[in-house]
Amino acid sequence: MPAQPYDDAPTRRDNPLPPRGEQPQPRSRSRARQDPRTVSNQETMVSEGPRRSRRKESGGPPEPPGPPAKKAGGGWRRFVPSWKIVVAAIVVLSAGMFGMIMVAYANTTVPTLTQDDATAQQSTIYYSDGSVIAHLGKKREIVKLAQMDENVREATIAIENKTFYEDSGISIPGMARSLWMTATGQQLQGASTITQQMARNYFKGLSQEVSIKRKIDEIFVAVKLDDTMTKDQILETYLNTVNFGRAWGVEAAAKAYFGDNATAAKLTPEQGAYLAARIQQPGWAADEPALRSRFNDVIRNMAAVWPEKYGNLPQTAKFPKLENDANNNELGGAKGYMVMQVLEELKQRGLLTPDEVRSGGFDIYSTFDKKLMRAAREAVTSTMKSNNMSKEFHGSLAAVDPRNGRVVAFYGGSNYVKDQFNEPFDAKKQAASAFKPYVLAAWLQAGYSLKSYVPGNETVPKELPGQQAGGIKNSHNVGRAVDVVKATAESVNTAFVSMAFALPNQLDDVKNLVEAAGFNQARMEEDVKKHHYQFAIGSAPVTVVEQAAGYSIFANGGKYTRYHVVKDVKLNGKVVYPEVKVAKSVIDPAVAADATVAMQEVLRSGTARGKGLGNRPAAGKTGTNNDENGAWFVGYTPQLSAAVGFYREQCVTKTGKVVRPLSNSACPTTPNGKPHPKYNGDNPYSAAREVGLGFEGAGPPTITWQKFMLAAHEGKPIEQFPARAEIGLPENIVPSPTPTPSPTPSDNPFDEENPFDEDQGVDQDCLIAPCDDETTNDDVPTNEDDLGGGPEFPQTSSDGGVSGGGGNVPDPRPSGREPMSTRPEDH
């Protein structure tokens, strides 16, 4: 059979073949031209089917091979990358992560600023002799690593970071566990190395937040620290920083738990283990079960890490004996009054804030004498007890060294924790007749002498600006004229008001003098505006400590040194803030000497006669406010000036009912001190109102002063006052009295009107007559309807002090200051 040409193929059938016997219709010529097939064997025929199919069908030779066909199959296998791709991806990711870590590490800087709490050390306040009054702030003492016993160092490493000396500042297993649990929201695991803990607690910039970011920052800093600090430096910083509960730092902790004689350099293995056990939970009680359990863990770890040294410790160790916490209340009793006054002075001087004191590690030496502080307390409390004074009575005392202004003693209250009001520094009361010596000093300073005669029965001029109806009077008859010494001894009101009026600059001379002697300028100016010439007889409110310091000008030759309670402040053994004791001259020495002569007579023959110091020279002045609302005695020797003040406050409700004060002498804010829907701090149930003491300045105040001064001078040499100077010339405001015959030795030195006759029961120190309870004056305003200030203290004045203080003082005249008439010519 002849072979068929390769390109010969069956003719495409556009239509079905006709039935046999029928002839196909002839094609047109045009159709023949369009058909790609030809009738000639030499012409190529183009098939519409695949060429390969034709070969197979025709049984011709095979074609050349085409591209390989894909294998049959599918599913998840098609998504699995080959191992080569996986390895390449891991390498790339690892390199990227490593690069990022290296960049972050390179950009991490070691902090240079420390946290305030990390280096904060408590300050200590001392008595003047160096004995401790109180510790303030965090107990911490920075010591070198060599001063820390190996026992406590190794115990800390055993329980906190066994690989401390081998690791690079971080623990990879612990860190991984901690990060995983943080990321999964589970409870955080500590797993921090000693280096990490030190970084977190010591340097600023690392927060205490619970987050992965904080941990990463902490890790980078810890690694850097391990590169820049030695292991011993890190451990030393850590043990000086960490909180042990009662104290911060291992040195202070040793003392806090094992006694004042203990040190970090001398600790038993058990003591070291105890301190290390406290690090995890410093708030644990001293011997609670959880702490005992961790103590045993520390012992076992020590034996495991250093078997040759502590191998037998688990069998022999006993829980150490602990000291009671001596820091339960550093401010109890009188300590709080001393501490707070020291802090206040440092703040007022602009040296240290209370927070700086509590964290600065200062040694602050106060002016307080431990023995005299006890003597002041005993003098006040024993007098109050012997006179059956209730909690309505308030007594205070302050003593100042006149040569340097140091407050050597005071009594401010029985217990600072219960009552924070410091009586001699905070209570501002009318000075009453104890203010008259300043008028006497101004009189002598003006060139007038003690031999001058001054009014005894009525003021000159008779009417003075600010006086109440009836004028200023005395409670006893001293005659028409008295000399200045007798006016001082018998506390003659009319004399001192007239003396103030006769001064060249009148009240300004007195005001300027007392301001130079340390009294608050704003209070003095306000009182002059309000009470005018009653200022000369003590209407101005003053404090007990101001009075004690003010009388220093008489005891110290006219010189005044501002009173203060801080001697010096030391830091690391060096004085950083020295004592300020600059003295200034307020009056001439001769003025001080002659004023002392007059005030000595107060204790010899005047209102306080018989209450001196025996053969030791002393001088002073009594004072009693209107209605005996306040009572004073201020006196001095060449070595010491002391002031005593008493006042009384009743707790009165708005309906006028008198209720008992609380245990701290404060008036109850609510009935019986229990919660009440109506009464609270803004609407108190009761408030304080000053009432009469029932005694004068010559009574309990002078007795208290005498007790204290006798105790304070025990064992001290007797010093004499300067001799009388006879300064100035007589300046008689009234004519001198007609001389009377001298009494014979058998005569009574006092006539029937002897003002010192105890049977007469008169009050020579009364500020403004009438002064006894039997005589009343409807024109004298009273404060019986005034509830005063808060439950702790009366109302305050514009300068923050107490207005009014003791006694009822008249309001200023509506017309203000009246023109002053000139005094009559001397006779």
Q: Is the dihedral of CA 688, 692, 695, 699 positive or negative?
A: positive
Identity of the residue numbered 214:
R
Please say whether the beta carbons of 244 and 271 come within 8 A.
Answer: no
CA nearest neighbour of 475 among 733, 696, 736: 696
Q: Is it the case that residue 626 has pLDDT exceeding 60?
A: yes
Average pLDDT over residues 288-295: 92
pTM: predicted TM-score of the whole model, two decimal places: 0.69
pLDDT at residue 8 greater than cutoff 60: no
One-letter amino acid at 153 equals R
pLDDT at 68 over 70: no
Q: Above 60 in pLDDT, residue 621?
A: yes
Q: Tell whether the model's pLDDT for residue 276 goes beyond 60.
A: yes
Percent of all residues in the chain with a pLDDT value above 70, rounded to a whole number: 70
For residue 780, the model assigns a pLDDT of 31
Between 730 and 784, the higher pLDDT residue: 730
Which of 504, 753, 763 is CA-nearest to residue 631?
763
Query: In this model, does residue 500 exceed pLDDT 70?
Result: yes
CA distance 288 to 735: 86
At 564, the pLDDT band (50, 70, 90 cuts) reads very high
Higher pLDDT, 225 or 190: 225
Instruction: Report pLDDT digits (tens) over 202-223.
Output: 775 555 554 555 566 667 677 7
Query: Cα–Cα distance between 169 and 225 in angstroms, integer?
Result: 8
Q: Which of 582, 591, 596 is nearest to 638 (CA)?
A: 596
Q: What's the CA dihedral at 50, 54, 56, 59 to 10 degrees?
A: -160
- Among residues 764, 702, 760, which one has the least CA distance to residue 432? 764
Output the pLDDT for position 767: 44
Question: Per-residue pLDDT for 687 more than 50?
Answer: yes
Report the 10 Å Cβ neighbour count for 382.
13
Residues 725-749: what's their mean pLDDT?
74
Say how far residue 587 (Cα) sits from the centre of its chain: 38
Q: What is the mean pLDDT of residues 584-603?
A: 98
8-state DSSP, 811: P
Q: What band does 197 get if pLDDT is binned at 50, 70 and 90?
A: confident
Beta strand pairing status for 453-455 and 481-483? antiparallel
pLDDT at 123 exceeding the cut of 50: yes
Residue environment code for 193-219, b if the CB has 16+ CB neighbours within 10 A, otherwise e: bbbbbbbbbbbeebeeeeeeeebebbb
Residue 182 or 642, more confident: 642
Q: What's the rounded mean pLDDT across residues 610-625?
A: 96
What's the pLDDT tens digit per position in 346-381? 999 999 999 899 889 999 999 999 999 999 999 999
Look at residue 50 in the predicted model and tell me its pLDDT.
44
DSSP type of residue 559 = E
Q: How much is the pLDDT for 638?
A: 98
Average pLDDT over residues 285-290: 88
Interatomic CA distance for residues 410 and 544, integer angstroms: 9
Q: Which of 519, 496, 500, 518 is nearest to 509 (CA)?
A: 500
Residue 756 pLDDT class (50, 70, 90 cuts): very low
**Tokens 């094609």 appear where?**
27
DSSP class of residue 767? S
3-state helix, strand, coil in the chain (%, to 5): 35, 10, 50
Sheet holding 363-366, edge to edge: 132-136, 123-126, 363-366, 566-571, 574-577
More confident of the two residues 246 and 823: 246
pLDDT tens readout for residues 528-557: 999 999 999 999 999 999 999 999 999 999
- What the block records as the tokens of 696 is 């004068």
Tens-place pLDDT, residues 637-659:
999 999 999 999 999 998 899 99
Burial of 702 (0-12, 13-18, 19+ CB in 10 A): buried
With a cut of 50, say whether residue 710 has pLDDT above it.
yes
pLDDT reported for residue 820: 34
The tokens for 530 are: 């309000």
The SS3 of residue 125 is strand
**pLDDT band at 801; cut points 50, 70, 90:** very low
Average pLDDT, the chain: 80
Contact 681, 581 (CB under 8 A): no
Directed axis angle between helix 194-202 and helix 150-160, to 10°?
100
Render pLDDT for 74-115 as a digit per residue (tens, 0 to 9).
Answer: 566 666 667 666 677 677 776 666 555 555 555 555 555 566
